[in-house]
Amino acid sequence: VGGCHLVFDAGTGAIPCGVELCRSAERPSRVHLFLSHLHHDHVEGLRHFEPAYSPGWECWIFGPGTAGIGLARALGMLMQSPWFPKPMRSLPARIVVRKLPPTVHVVFARPKPFFLPARTAPPADVPVVTARHVRAHPKPGVTLYRLNYRGRTVVYATDVDLARWPQAEFVQFARRADVVILDAQYSSPEEPRQLPQRPSQWGHTSVRAAAEAAREADVGELVLFHHDPRRSDAEITDFERVARTVFPATRAAREGMELQLR
Ligand SMILES: [Zn+2]
Ligand SMILES: [Zn+2]
């Protein structure tokens, strides 16, 4: 986006993403990773993120604070022995960790990104990521992101339970975005209570609630995200069908999916 590499979360998809970044870059560059939270499924790919192993690269990692530990230390723990043989501080790339305030704009002006208070109107001619931390996901909450560049907007809102976050606030955050990539893990609000591994509060949203929120926020397109790994392709297709009865411009995220915004 606007000459910046922006990556949202670092699940296993970050592994091919990192390979592609290094392969396509003419020279070592800088990549910015925005973490929603530190649950395993969002940081699993970090340990094998190729730019971090490539001399000359810079990896800037943004994410929410982690109560009592600190973001940099919590990330370092992911790579500690006995769980991993290569400590983060030994990586050849320059790693910069930036803890995000609960609400903030990250402005990608040169030579390096800076923070602007959320109440300030951000510039429109450079990429801006607006972060908003909410408690609607089991401890310690989750950060949602809204990326804006030259009038185009993408919202990335994963691991959020819209039954626990007032819909009006979500609608305000996602208002008129071109694309909203939204948690829609459950087939129904009752599903978590039927899962073998209780408790019921895993902090996700049902497909119908996601579609209703997208309709309410008047967005361009809804992308259903955070599929349960046990779900079959046929079930995901069924999710699309259900969501489209509420909000027709819906599709389910698939590995390798490309969305072009011009
Ligand atoms: Zn989570
Ligand atoms: Zn998750």
Cα 124 to middle of ligand 1, angstroms:
31
Q: Dump pLDDT digits (tens) for 64-99.
A: 988 788 999 999 999 999 999 999 999 999 999 999
Distance 161 CA to ligand 1 centre (A): 10
Inform me whether the pLDDT recorded for 194 exceeds 90.
Answer: no
Question: Which ligand has the nearest atom to the CA of 38?
Answer: 1
Ligand minimally distant from the alpha carbon of residue 41: 2
Cα angle: 18, vertex 138, 33; to 5 degrees: 20
Q: How far is the CA of 158 from the centre of ligand 2 (A)?
A: 7
- Rounded distance between C-alpha atoms, residue 49 and residue 21, angstroms: 10
DSSP-derived 3-state class of residue 181: strand
pLDDT per position as a tens digit, 106-154: 999 888 999 999 999 999 899 999 999 998 888 789 999 999 999 999 9
Mean pLDDT, the chain, rounded, equals 93
Residues 139 and 5: their CA atoms lie apart, in Å, by 29
CA–centroid distance, residue 250 to ligand 2 (Å): 21
The answer, yes or no, to whether residue 102 has pLDDT greater than 80, is yes
Between CA 69 and CA 37 the distance in angstroms is 13
User: With 70 as the cut, is the pLDDT of residue 199 above it?
Assistant: no
| Whole-number Å distance between alpha carbons of 48 and 5 | 17
- Check pLDDT > 70 for residue 197: no
Counting ligands in written order, the one closest to the CA of 44 is 2
Q: Which two tokens stand for residue 167?
A: 């819909």
CA of 61 from ligand 1 middle (Å) equals 18
User: Cα(223) to centroid of ligand 2, in Å?
Assistant: 16
Question: Is pLDDT larger for residue 191 or for residue 5?
Answer: 5
40 pLDDT exceeds 70? yes
What confidence tens digit (pLDDT) does each residue in 203-246 have? 899 999 999 999 999 999 999 999 999 999 999 999 999 999 99
CA-to-CA separations, 206 to 5, 77, 115, 144, 200, in angstroms, rounded: 31, 33, 33, 17, 13
Q: Specify the pLDDT at position 200.
A: 59
Distance 56 CA to ligand 2 centre (A): 31
CA 25 – ligand 1 centroid, Å: 31
**Residue 260 backbone dihedrals phi, psi, to 5 degrees:** -105, 125
145 C-alpha to ligand 1 centroid (Å): 15
Residue 218 Cα to ligand 1 middle (Å): 26
* Cα(104) to centroid(ligand 2), Å: 22
Distance 143 CA to ligand 1 centre (A): 10
- Percentage of the chain beyond pLDDT 90 is 79
Asked if residue 195 has pLDDT above 70, the reply is no
**What pLDDT digit, counting tens, does each position of 143-187 carry?**
999 999 999 999 999 999 998 888 889 999 999 999 999 999 988
